[in-house]
Amino acid sequence: MKNKIDHFAVGAETLEQGEEALRAMLGIDIPRGGKHAAMSTHNCVVQAGNDSFLELISIDPDAPAPGRARWFTLDDPETQTRLHARPRALCWVVGTDDLDRIVAESPVDLGEVVHFTRGERTWRLTVPADGSLPEGGLLPAFIEWSPGPHPSAGMQDLGLALSEVRLSHPDPQRIETIARTLRIDHLASVVEGPLGLSFALDTPTGRVVLD
């Protein structure tokens, strides 16, 4: 089984808010991506090294209500309050070549496996029905792409590279145990502290931490 960091999501109240904030923090303009019709969200995307990418995501104000809870807790009032202040690290996503096995063997509920299509691209992703995130976002969503080049291959390379995913939890041993079971313990560091998720990035202007 091959598990690797596929992408990581930073949420914003609006894409314009997120673009402005990340331009100031990262020193780059993240290109617009596309729309997710099933979730009524839209994004900006950019390569982040090692066949991964950064996704800046927000609710699409021009889209109709999706008829279900949006992914990455975007409908959650607490998340919306946090995003009103500034963009935040929301979720990391692990790519796997055996999604069904991951879901079957997981010691925690990862959500349902949902099929998505956009243009010629198709993928399957774990999405809890209520829009929540496992362990408050400390555990990743899991994705399995249809065969073909990884989406990051078609994105701009603006000198950004993910250097660390850091998970903070009052009981780090518990998170480490779950991570080992899911075969992702090599993908993130776990520290003791208040519940929190952060991404350390190497940028053209130096190291930046998004939390």
Mapping DSSP to helix (H, G, I), strand (E, B) and coil, where does residue 61 land?
coil
- Residue 86, helix vs strand vs coil: coil
CB of 120 within 8 A of CB of 145?
no
* Residues 168, 175: Cα–Cα separation, whole Å: 9
What is the distance between the alpha carbons of residues 190 and 171, in angstroms, rounded to a whole number?
10
Q: What is the pLDDT of residues 84-104, one digit of tens each?
A: 999 999 999 999 999 999 999
Place of tokens 């673009």: 19
Contacts of 173 (CB under 8 A, 6+ apart): none
Reported pTM: 0.96
Q: pLDDT for 141-167, tens place per residue?
A: 999 999 889 999 999 999 999 999 999
Q: Is 33 left (phi over 0), alpha (psi -120 to 50) or beta?
A: alpha
Distance, in Å, from the CA atom of 195 to the CA atom of 200, rounded to the nearest integer, reads: 17
pLDDT of residue 20: 97
pLDDT of 51 strictly over 90: yes
Lookup: tokens for 122: 């198709």
Q: What is the mean pLDDT of the chain?
A: 96
pLDDT tens-digit series, residues 108-135: 999 999 999 888 889 999 999 999 999 9
Domains, the chain? 3-156 (3.10.180.10)
How far, in Å, CA of 1 to CA of 200, rounded? 26
